[in-house]
Structure 1
Amino acid sequence: MLPSEPLVTPDHPRLLIVDDHELVRLGLSSLIASQAAGHSQPGTLEASTLAEAIDLYARHQDTLALILLDLHLPDAHGLSGLRQLLTRFPEAPVAVLSGDADPALKRQALETGARAYLPKSGQLADVITYLRAQGLLGLPAASGPIPGLAEPESRASEAARMVQTRDGERVRLTHRQAEMLDWVLAGQPNREIAERAHLSEGTVKNHVSALLLMFGVRSRAQLISKLR
């Protein structure tokens, strides 16, 4: 099922996220929304197959600013999906989103016509940096890193927190994401978090999905294990 489509204006471009994993699509959409907090937020469309992506782009190409395309889909594998999409729409703005760090594959994707080759791992910092560079997100919050997992924030750094995993990876979270992480680490279910944060359970689920994606894990248990 596709999400409802927001009003489109020149200042409100849309993204098309193409990935066959619902968690990745949901997490990336939530992450983009959190990074655009306080600024014009780009609406997102989602597709789980290349056929869906081609259909959506055919119908919305005048308002789509970027396609984030996974290379491994049920109906396309490797660069075949990128080639099919660009054969049909040579001017389509496509950025490859891949879990494969092979330099040769990256070079071939760019030579085929991808505008960028972005890693689908960890906190997706390169994806956010690229979207911001394309003018699709607002400026980052100004704050310094805070070491450790859940130390209190100072007034000067309420907009963000830097969290460090057990293996030394550092992930920047917004203030709301940091709150959600604390509650998840305390073992609270979405229903209780929703009551405490005065949010719907659906909104909490979106936040938790974004956290899983940012830390490169697929479950709450894996997230807790990575941080404790």
Structure 2
Amino acid sequence: MIGHSPRAILVVDDHDLLRLGVRALVQALVNHPSEALDVLEAGSLADALAIYGAAQDRIGLVLLDLALPDTEGLSGLKAFHDRHPAARIVVLSGTLDASLARDALAWGASAFLPKSADLREIVNFIRACGLIDVKAAGGSPSVSGTAGKPVPQTPHASVWQQLTPRQTEVLNWVLEGKANKEIAHISNLSEGTVKNHVSTILLLFGMRSRAQLISSLR
């Protein structure tokens, strides 16, 4: 069918457990068969490029490990981006390196997520990309704001309820006008992690920029 919405993600990692973990979490979030999200898997860059080339109209997100058998450093991301510049790629890394994260984002990655993070952060990004219908998602967290603060009763109230407690904290700091560096200092997170949170929040609210987000929610 031409023009249909992407209903698949591609998980590229040579560790079976990570691929299985993402698949299990994605499947657990969807209650209705009509909202099923296909999880395609690849254990190498070569396989990933072949799968994406054959099914790119269906694939809305690529989760790409940097440490694949046939890649080194950012070579996999660069090769994927060169071959498929429109692909939305989230980089997964076993190394929490701020410099590496900056380089990955500069090379077109939508986010940089350490493997040490909760897998639900990955699923959160999948939801933010619109690949999981939140109304059909089972077990998705309903958050009442930070430290018991009520969810703002605004046209975006349903989106606030999708945020994790940490994302709610980050959003409140953004609305206070704090920069990523300040938020990182306050929350004891790296700037790269804060930037990932902000990117996910922008996607969830359908905003193109931090300024638009602040203007819409204040």
TM-score, L = length of structure 2: 0.58
Q: How does 1:137-216 map to 2 (within 5 A)?
A: 137-139=132-134, 140-142=140-142
Deviation by residue 1:29-87 (Cα, 9 ceiling, x = unmatched): 11111123347121111000000000001111111111100000000022010011111
- 5+ unaligned residues in a row in structure 2: which ranges? 135-139, 145-218
Which of structures 1 and 2 has the bigger CA Rg? 1
Q: Which residue of 2 aligns with 1:65?
A: 60
Deviation by residue 1:118-143 (Cα, 9 ceiling, x = unmatched): 22224223212211111122332438
The structure-2 alpha-carbon separation of the partners of 1:101 and 1:23, relative to structure 1 and needing over 3 Å to count, comes to same
Give the one of 78, 84, 87 matched to 2:79.
84
Q: Which residue of 1 aligns with 2:150?
A: none
| Secondary structure at 1:23 match in 2 | helix
User: Contact 1:71 / 1:81 at 8 angstroms: preserved in 2?
Assistant: yes
Q: Which residue of 2 aligns with 1:169?
A: none
Q: Which residue of 2 aligns with 1:21?
A: 15
One-letter identity of the residue aligned with 2:114: P
**Deviation of residue 100 (structure 1)?**
1.6
Deviation by residue 1:150-175 (Cα, 9 ceiling, x = unmatched): xxxxxxxxxxxxxxxxxxxxxxxxxx
Deviation by residue 1:158-206 (Cα, 9 ceiling, x = unmatched): xxxxxxxxxxxxxxxxxxxxxxxxxxxxxxxxxxxxxxxxxxxxxxxxx
C-alpha distance in 2 between matches for 1:127 and 1:69: 11
User: Contact 2:22 / 2:123 at 8 angstroms: preserved in 1?
Assistant: no
Give the one of 98, 102, 117 matched to 2:97.
102
C-alpha distance in 2 between matches for 1:20 and 1:101: 19
C-alpha distance in 1 between matches for 2:116 and 2:133: 22
The structure-2 alpha-carbon separation of the partners of 1:46 and 1:8, relative to structure 1 and needing over 3 Å to count, comes to farther
C-alpha distance in 1 between matches for 2:35 and 2:2: 11
The structure-2 alpha-carbon separation of the partners of 1:94 and 1:12, relative to structure 1 and needing over 3 Å to count, comes to closer
Give the one of 14, 36, 40 matched to 1:41.
36
One-letter identity of the residue aligned with 2:12: V
Identical-pair percentage:
41
Q: How does 1:106-117 map to 2 (within 5 A)?
A: 106-117=101-112
One-letter identity of the residue aligned with 2:45: L
| Secondary structure at 1:76 match in 2 | coil
- 5+ unaligned residues in a row in structure 1: which ranges? 1-6, 145-228
Greater share of strand residues, 1 or 2?
1
| Secondary structure at 2:112 match in 1 | strand
